[in-house]
């Protein structure tokens, strides 16, 4: 089961810092569709496990943490929404690099991935879903009629992430960030389950040197092609 097949899905996958989150959010807004930030689920598992004192490689216990995640995504809280873990606002904490690293560790555990499948597919609701992650097109929504693999050079991705974190007042250092990003890319690409790689039917979009608006317009054009008449829009808000 991949969720109600009549509900259209645009899957946007790619490495960290490729701009997936920003693009997916803008595309969802332009289409008036729902949005799944699947990375947030892995970040939440990492955070919940850390809080509960569960080791990040303890597969069996982590799967239980993933199954039992008490999370609320409140779309009305702030510009990008608010995330509550067991009733506590963890929106800012989720975005920091510690949470990113923890996410990439727990994401390599097959039982954790399995535990999150149903939760992710439940986001597939009318009028449509834009799903952002690493395996949206390959594993979670293999029948999506539009799969985009968004990428950019590692230098540009590190710089984007650097600016994003700085803007949020999070103190970071660019060389350390680049190194960490390359390491995380490697772990995501080499893991045995759902490794990060484009599905054969994905459209590759290299956003190096492209602005957000240009990327959003391209994805919206493809969405129109994939779902004629369904992906109607007034125009991108990017
Ligand atoms: O996209 P984001 O940076 O929030 O993802 C954090 C980590 O979660 C990634 O480095 C990756 O290891 C993992 N992830 C995943 N599958 C997804 C989304 C995220 O393995 N669909």
Q: Is residue 238 part of a domain?
A: no
Residue 233 within a domain: no
Strand partners, 88: 85
Does residue 116's CB lie within 6 angstroms of at least one atom of ligand 1? Answer: no
21: Cβ contacts below 8 Å, ≥ 6 apart: 37, 39, 132
Q: State which residues form the domain around 182.
A: 8-224
Nearest-angstrom CA–CA distance, 116 and 132:
14
Which residue out of 19, 37, 42 has the highest number of ligand 1 atoms within 8 Å of its CB and is therefore the one to mutate?
A: 42
Does residue 50 sit within a domain?
Answer: yes
Report the number of distinct structural domains present in the chain.
Answer: 1
Q: Decide the pairing of beta strands 71-74 and 146-151.
A: unpaired
- Residue 198 within any structural domain of the chain: yes
CATH number at residue 215: 3.40.50.300
Nearest CA to ligand 1 atom 20: 107
- Tens digit of pLDDT for each residue in 5-50? 689 999 999 988 888 999 999 999 999 999 999 999 999 999 999 9
Tokens of 200: 């054969």
* Tens digit of each residue's pLDDT (9 = 90 or more) over 96-122: 878 988 998 999 999 999 999 999 999
Looking at the domain assignment, is residue 136 inside a domain? Answer: yes
DSSP state of 202: P
Instruction: Write the pLDDT tens digit of every residue in 120-166.
Output: 999 999 999 999 999 999 999 999 999 999 999 888 899 988 888 88
Predicted TM-score (pTM) of this structure? 0.88
Note whether residue 232 is domain-resident.
no
Whether residue 229 lies inside any domain: the answer is no
The pLDDT of residue 232: 62
Q: Is the separation of the CB atoms in 129 and 8 below 8 Å?
A: yes
Query: Do residues 97 and 172 lie in contact, with contact meaning Cβ atoms separated by under 8 Å?
Result: yes
HEC letters along 132-160: EECCHHHHHCCCCCEEEEEECCHHHHHHH
């Amino acid at each position: 089961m991949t969720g109600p097949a009549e509900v259209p899905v645009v899957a946007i996958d790619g490495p960290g810092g490729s701009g997936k989150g920003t693009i997916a959010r803008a595309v969802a807004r332009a289409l008036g569709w729902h949005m799944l930030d699947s990375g947030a689920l892995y970040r939440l598992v990492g955070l919940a496990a850390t809080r509960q004192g569960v080791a990040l490689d303890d597969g069996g216990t982590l799967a239980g943490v993933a199954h039992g995640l008490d999370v609320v995504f409140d779309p009305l809280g702030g510009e990008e929404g608010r995330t509550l873990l067991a009733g506590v606002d963890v929106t800012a904490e989720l975005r920091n690099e510690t949470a990113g690293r923890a996410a990439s560790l727990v994401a390599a555990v097959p039982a954790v991935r399995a535990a999150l499948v149903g939760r992710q597919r439940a986001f597939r609701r009318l009028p449509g879903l834009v799903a952002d992650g690493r395996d949206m097109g390959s594993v979670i929504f293999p029948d999506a009629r539009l799969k985009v693999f968004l990428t950019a050079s590692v230098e540009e991705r590190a710089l984007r992430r650097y600016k994003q974190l700085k803007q949020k007042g999070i103190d970071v250092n660019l060389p350390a960030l680049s190194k960490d990003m390359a390491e995380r890319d490697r772990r995501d690409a080499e893991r045995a389950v759902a490794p990060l790689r484009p599905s054969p039917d994905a459209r590759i979009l290299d956003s190096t040197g492209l602005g957000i608006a240009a990327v959003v317009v391209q994805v919206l054009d493809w969405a129109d092609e994939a779902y004629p008449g369904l992906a109607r829009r007034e125009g991108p808000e990017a």
